[in-house]
Structure 1
Amino acid sequence: MNRIDRLQAILTQLQSKKVVKAQEIADRFDISLRTVYRDIRALEEGGVPIGSETGIGYFLDDNYALPPIMFTTEEASAILIAGKLISHISDKIVDASFQDALYKIKSVMKSEDKLVLEKLENSVKVFTGITNIPKKDSIYLQDIQKALVKSRILKLGYFAHYKQELSVREVEPIGLLFYALNWHLIAYCRLRNSYRDFRLDRIQKLEITEQTYHRKLDKDFEDYLNQEREQYQHFEVELRMEKPMALQLHESKYWYGHISEHEDGNFIVMKFLNPDLNGFARWILTMTDKVDILSPPNLKNMVGEMVKKLYEKYQNDLP
């Protein structure tokens, strides 16, 4: 990116939020802080009223007005792709809000760029399987975001899957996580007196109360994530298999934590990091005799025990 384009992009970034840190600009454009300071000076010399506070960041004067931002075709196309995904990883309310935003983006585009998006609209699809799972009207994504912004306590009617029971919780939300194809609310649970992970599609009722709480959201959320990383133990697994078997695994190996592989004569040796050896052992059973377990030794024992139980169950049915 040349400097003129970067200056325009920095100006757009300054418009995007109330205060922008110099380090945020440096990280976005992969430039030094010294270069950031020079670019800010250049914008100021060009007549842009940029304010700053030491240790906080830069901001635009509230009275400074800029003309509407024009999107490039590539930028609008990227937003269209995001829209295709959002409809599958959110609820109907969030999807509708995003589509409204997309209409506004299209309204300021040039005619030729609008035609490009119209062609892409029907040429980009997201395939989620043969079965069509109905989308929920709401999984409370927007309500939880409002509670986070206003530091409001939430009252949940939550269905615990393992206990198969509904409970009422008062929680202090600190963040939203998307993993394992579901959204999760991370919050301090006043009933359990500790942080808990609540899957949004199991929340049957949600109320934003008038009560507020006092937590440093960024710090508490990051501390929670770091703690989870430390507790989330992974096991290193090494398998050797024939090349045709390796080709059959294709994309499925990544679901089980594939990290590397190399050729060994007529075989492929694969390495995995996986937190669930029991589930990994069941996956290995689907490969029958086409795979050798190189490590860890206890994985061999687990597979052997599973095979033994299967034999005992079906031995009378064998010819």
Structure 2
Amino acid sequence: MNDHYLKKIDRVTAILTQLQSKPIVRAQDLATKFDVSIRTIYRDVKTLENAGIPIIGEAGNGYSLMDGYKLPPVMFTKEEVLSFITAEKLMQKFSHQSLGNHYQTAMEKVRSVLRHSDKNLIENIEKQIDVFNYHAQTGNELKNVIPTILESIADKTQLIIEYKTVDSRVTNRTVEAVGVFFEFNYWYIMAFCTLRKDFRQFRVDRILQIFKTQNTFSQEYGQINDYRKYSDGEKTKVRLLVEKKIMGHIVNSRRYYGFIEERETENGMEMIFDTEWIEEGFPRWLITFADYATVLEPESLKTKLRNLAADISRNLEE
């Protein structure tokens, strides 16, 4: 069997997997994915139909499998099996418990359809992979909170949440969820708050109760990254002049504090930030390397650093 037919078999199998995993598959998308012509995709689909696969649709409209049609379990490559193991380790360490439980159930189903040799591969290799998480795990009092949020997004229904703010106030909000994201070791929900008439993000571990209502909303909110640009507070521009020898120690943490860009100068690296944590977070981070940095602006940041340094000095004298 020559290389041409081997490639076709791989491509046709992959197209079948796409049909199994999506409600509608467009020929143009398949042609782009496999870097072939649309005419080649038409022939591949015809090959599947000739093999008895009940495909609904036609060229130009997209294809799908007949509803209710069941295919035998798919076979996974060795590389795919190894990727499952790695993903499972990551989910165990970083996922919210409400997601982790569902993922574990899904993985059990995946394991059930693996060949005997692949099951042996998992048993031999899974203890050789680990993920070390140095951050404290957050509480998971609400076991089904993220699935509830995702269901509300899919159904376009409003949520009512009882939320504990950073200053320990408890408030009730009606929100229209846009999405969820993981950042700084916490899960967040991005949503339109009907009380504030604006977009807000809420830390999932601070949600005390959550209820999915029957109230639907029609607004199309788009992708979550379009809304993470919104901020609860005003941002302050900060310019620092930092000695080059310390840059390697702050290159990973700087992005958490609104880092925008840097410019190399004769006297060091000029770093520019757009931060909303100018009152507490930014000064406390900056003081960890303040002996290697000069504040160019704002002037108020210098005052905050002096006050913070004075408090530290006073505590050390006591």
TM-score norm. by structure 2 comes to 0.76
Match runs of 1:2-81 below 5 Å: 2-22=7-27, 24-25=29-30, 29=33, 31=35, 35-46=37-48, 47=50, 48-52=53-57, 57-62=62-67, 64-81=69-86
Taking the aligned partners of 1:77 and 1:105, their CA distance within structure 2 comes to 12
Question: Which structure 2 residue ranges, 5 or more long, are not aligned?
Answer: 1-5
1:37-58 per-residue CA deviation (whole Å, 9 max, x = no partner) reads 5224322234244333687532
Tell me: CA distance 1:316–1:237, structure 2 relative to 1, closer, same or farther (3 Å). closer
Question: What are the within-5 Å matches in structure 2 for residues 159-238 of structure 1?
Answer: 159-162=164-167, 164-209=168-213, 211-216=214-219, 219-222=220-223, 225-226=225-226, 228-229=228-229, 237=239
Cα separation, partners in 2 of 1:75 and 1:261, compared to 1, 3 Å: farther
Deviation of 1:252 (Å): 3.6
Other-structure match for 1:140: 145
User: 2:66 is matched by which residue type in structure 1?
Assistant: D
Alpha-carbon distance in 2 for matches of 1:273, 1:23: 42
Residue number in structure 2 paired with 1:306: 304
Residues 281 and 302, structure 1, Cα contact 8 Å, conserved in 2: no
1:285–1:158 distance in 2 versus 1, CA, 3 Å:
closer
Q: CA deviation at 1:140?
A: 0.7
> Which aligned pairs between 1:107-146 and structure 2 lie closer than 5 A?
107-129=112-134, 135-136=140-141, 138=143, 140-146=145-151
Any gaps of 5 or more consecutive residues in structure 1? Answer: none
Q: Residues 291, 30 of structure 1: CA spacing in aligned structure 2 closer, same or farther, 3 A cutoff?
A: farther
Q: Could you tell me how far 1:70 is from its partner in structure 2?
A: 0.8
Aligned to 1:275: 275
Shift in Å, 1:298: 0.8
User: How high is the TM-score relative to the length of structure 1?
Assistant: 0.76
Residue identity over aligned pairs, in percent, reads: 28
Q: Aligned residues, how many?
A: 304
Moved more, 140-149 or 231-240: 231-240
CA–CA separation in structure 2 for the residues paired with 1:56 and 1:184: 37
User: Hey, what's the Cα distance between the residues in 2 that align with 1:316 and 1:202?
Assistant: 32
> 2:110, 2:191 → 1: CA distance?
34
The 3-state SS of whatever aligns with 2:71 is coil
Going from structure 1 to structure 2, the CA distance change for 1:158 and 1:226 (only over 3 Å counts) comes to: same
Distance 1:226 1:132 in 2: 28
**Aligned to 1:87, which of 92, 104, 123?**
92
Secondary structure class of the residue paired with 1:148: helix
Is the 8 Å Cα contact of residues 76 and 105 (structure 1) preserved in structure 2?
A: no
Structure 1 residue identity aligned to 2:207: I
